[in-house]
Amino acid sequence: MRWVRDARARRLRLIVSEKGARLTLPRSVSERAALAFLHEHRSWLADQLSRRPTASAEPLRRGVEPSLPLRGTDVPLHWREGRYARAELRDEGVVLQLPERASDAQLKSALRDFYTQQARQDLGTWLPRYLPGLPRAPLAFKLRPLSSLWGSLSPTDALSLDLSLVLGRPGAFEYVLVHELCHLIHANHSPRFWREVAARWPHWRDERSYLRGEGLSLKAQLARLIA
Amino acid sequence: MFFRNLTFFRFPASLAKAFAEIDARLEECRLKPVGPSELVTRGFVSPFGRDEPAMSHRVNDALWITLGGEERLLPAAVINDELGKRIEAMEEKEGRKLGGRARKRLKEDLVMELLPRAFVRPMRTNATLDLQHGFIAVDASSRKSAENLVSELRHAMGSFPALPLNAEVSARGVLTGWIAGEPLPPGLSLGDECELKDPIDGGAVVKCQRQELLCDEIRKHLESGKQVSKLALVLDDHVSFVLGEDLVVRKLKFLDGVVDQLEGTDRDGIHAELDARYALMAGELKRLFAVLEGALKFSPAEA
């Protein structure tokens, strides 16, 4: 268990991520109060820790790895030799071409590029459907691994999404996109905001519980492939 | 007036009707001169230059607009130097150190005093909209100034759902493929400039100019893992440009053969000349966008 005292924290916060459990304390909270808080939530903590993915920390097996996670399924992976590093989705699966002397960093960068591209393709398909009901369009889209969030909308309307969403089921990814887009209408999580989400994505609760259940494992899988 | 850079955004082509009264909308947001104590103003101006009545220029499906701006130049060094002197004088007079709040007030007063004397720098950013394909190309290579123009246009029109360009295939992969010997789309040919980057964090960068791109040296770089981040291309021998992996077109240049066409035409004044030049450019940009759209699979802005 990691204890972190954070001057900006407003309340006690206990989170479980792929790195383990972490307790954040505001400056004013005593150690005793924190221990009481932990005690109160011990069953939740035990439950979360037991559900935590037993991270297959073994690195990507180069030339051997048979498949890649993508959109909720495992897609066959074909390793080829090529003049430059590139991963492409074709009918037979993902074709990953690598020069003979390519380093692991280049392999990971090719995979990151591949996932970013797949995510961009999904965005391109989904966005036009939601655009007409919005007051304005997002100014930019950023796709990168986020540590605890799934997405965010900046005050300048730049939309960030977690790259690991593209590994999970597409419905969850689309829900996160819809959620962030609805922040263009209401920049909060008020009932009015959730009404806008429900109007566009009626089964958002299913997707949210999917992300709460599978989310950590998605983030861990992405970290294993590209970090 | 030929654009030098292009930053693209897409909007639904069904929006074309909304541009029927664009002049009136832009007129409402015309550039106002910067006031004596104002730092910056933005607003639309006529593409034809100062004091012209037309707020936009339309040739068939293409619409040309210009965002103007005035900015007061007040270098931080000037303020800090003068502020230092004043603080020193004040401290000597009062015999004590000045507090943070007093310093801040002194600085604010100083800025208000200097602003009316500061130079005014005028700015202009051009953009062209293609109402048939639904794209806007801003003559800017920086994301920020391009976004500025789009948000001013959104403000003027009330609603303007423009999306940044989204390529459904990896631009870096496609550009790398082209100099690794894969066929280019019809009409495009390689120029003589490129930037290669090792895609890992802090990776090596190689920039070449006036360099034959299909050669052993470049191939060695590709084999060691570098990928193309910028590539010079030529379209139909008409325009040359450098395309970046960020999908921004830089160093756009209309080649002699195209500009020569303009020489022969009769010109009645600057207005007619600009009209001819714009018509020519809009046509080339339409073709350029169509070619890039096919090669990089740009996402459409409507379902």
| Amino acid B4: pLDDT | 95
Residue B53 has pLDDT above 70, yes or no: yes
What are the residue boundaries of the structural domains of chain A, listed by start? Answer: 2-51, 104-226
Half-sphere exposure of B65 (CA within 13 A, CB side): 28
Between chains, do A137 and B161 touch, taking CB under 8 Å as contact?
yes
Say how far apart CA B140 and CA B157 lie, in whole Å: 21
Contact B191, B240 (CB under 8 A): yes
- Could you tell me which chain B residue has the CA closest to the CA of A103? B225
User: What are A84-131's pLDDT values in tens digits?
Assistant: 888 888 888 889 888 887 788 888 888 998 999 999 999 988 988 888
What string of H, E and C letters represents the secondary structure of B53-112? CCCCEEECCEEEEEEEEEEEECCHHHHHHHHHHHHHHHHHHHCCCCCHHHHHHHHHHHHH
| Amino acid B205: pLDDT | 94
Between chains, do B303 and A141 touch, taking CB under 8 Å as contact?
no
Helix (H, G, I), strand (E, B) or coil at A187: coil
Of the candidates A84, A103, A141, the beta carbon closest to that of B176 is on: A84
As a whole number of Å, the end-to-end CA separation of chain A is 23
User: What are A151-168's pLDDT values in tens digits?
Assistant: 999 998 889 999 999 999
Contact B9, A138 (CB under 8 A): no
Smallest CA–CA distance, residue B95 to chain A, in Å, is 37
Between chains, do A116 and B170 touch, taking CB under 8 Å as contact?
yes
| DSSP string of B17-49, one letter each residue | GGGTTHHHHHHHTBPPPPPTT-SEEEEEE-TT-
User: What are B188-204's pLDDT values in tens digits?
Assistant: 999 999 999 988 778 89
What string of H, E and C letters represents the secondary structure of B269-299? HHHHHHHHHHHHHHHHHHHHHHHHHHHHCEC
| Amino acid A51: pLDDT | 74
Predicted ipTM of the assembly: 0.79
Half-sphere exposure of B20 (CA within 13 A, CB side): 4
Between chains, do B162 and A109 touch, taking CB under 8 Å as contact?
no
Say how far apart CA A36 and CA A42 lie, in whole Å: 10
- Chain centre distance of CA A39: 30
Architecture in CATH of A104-226 = 2-Layer Sandwich (3.30)
- For residue A84, the chain B residues in CB contact (below 8 A) are 176-177, 180, 222-223, 225, 227
Between chains, do B199 and A110 touch, taking CB under 8 Å as contact?
yes
Say how far apart CA B191 and CA B235 lie, in whole Å: 10
Interface of B with A in 155-174 (CB under 8 A): 159-164, 166-170, 172-173
- For residue B154, the chain A residues in CB contact (below 8 A) are 136
Of the candidates B168, B198, B225, the beta carbon closest to that of A120 is on: B168
Contacts of A77 by beta carbon, 8 Å cutoff, 6+ apart? A65, A66, A67, A68, A93, A94, A96
Identify the CA nearest to A102 among candidates B227, B276, B28, B253. Answer: B227
- Chain centre distance of CA A165: 5
Smallest CA–CA distance, residue A15 to chain B, in Å, is 29
Between chains, do B161 and A136 touch, taking CB under 8 Å as contact?
yes
User: What are A59-97's pLDDT values in tens digits?
Assistant: 777 777 888 889 988 898 888 888 888 888 888 888 988
DSSP 8-state symbol, A140: E
